[in-house]
Amino acid sequence: AWRCAEQGLSERLTSEIQPGKTTPCSPEHGPFDHVMILCTLSAIPGEDDAALLASATAALRPGGLVLIRDHGMYDMRHLKDVRRGAVLLDRERPAYLRPGGMHRRYYSLQDMAALAGGAGLEVVENRYLCIRQRNEKKGLEWDRVYVHSVFRRPFDSGD
């Protein structure tokens, strides 16, 4: 936020963190042009990922975009959870209870499209992002799989 002010952008940019999965952001800041959800849906247990997305959609102006990056199927963490015997909570949409009580879900493109449809959003872009992460100092490499999705709130017939 201080860099925005430094560049004279603070009057044009608003950023806010949603306080809870179904608690909307401050009404004086909305509606928003864009909502970014980064590696958050996967950490929400049960069907509450859909509730968070619906809440974020309600804060968008018509034509606004939801930008999502989250853990995809067969990400290194997914494979590690399977190997280590993390408790499988949901077979349909792979979700695990990790040591320490942390929840982690891994999404397919179909899962993301279904979440978008349930929130009344149109799919603009929905793809896997596969990267190789390297730690040169330790000589380690990891293959990462993320879902990268862009959804649009439709324009209402009156807009």
Q: Which amino acid makes up residue 105?
A: R
Torsion of CA 150, 90, 84, 78, to 10 degrees: -10
Tell me 7's DSSP state.
T
| Burial classification of residue 123, based on how many CB atoms lie within 10 Å of its CB (0-12 exposed, 13-18 middle, 19 or more buried) | middle
CB 128 within 8 A of CB 113: no
pTM over 0.85? The answer is: no
Strands, E assignment, 39-139: 60-71, 87-90, 95-97, 103-105, 122-135
Report d(CA 32, CA 17) in Å as an integer: 12
Q: What is the pLDDT of residues 112-158, one digit of tens each?
A: 999 999 999 999 999 999 999 999 999 999 889 999 999 999 997 44
Q: What is the pLDDT of residues 10-52, one digit of tens each?
A: 666 566 665 665 565 666 667 888 889 999 899 888 788 898 8
Report d(CA 32, CA 88) in Å as an integer: 36
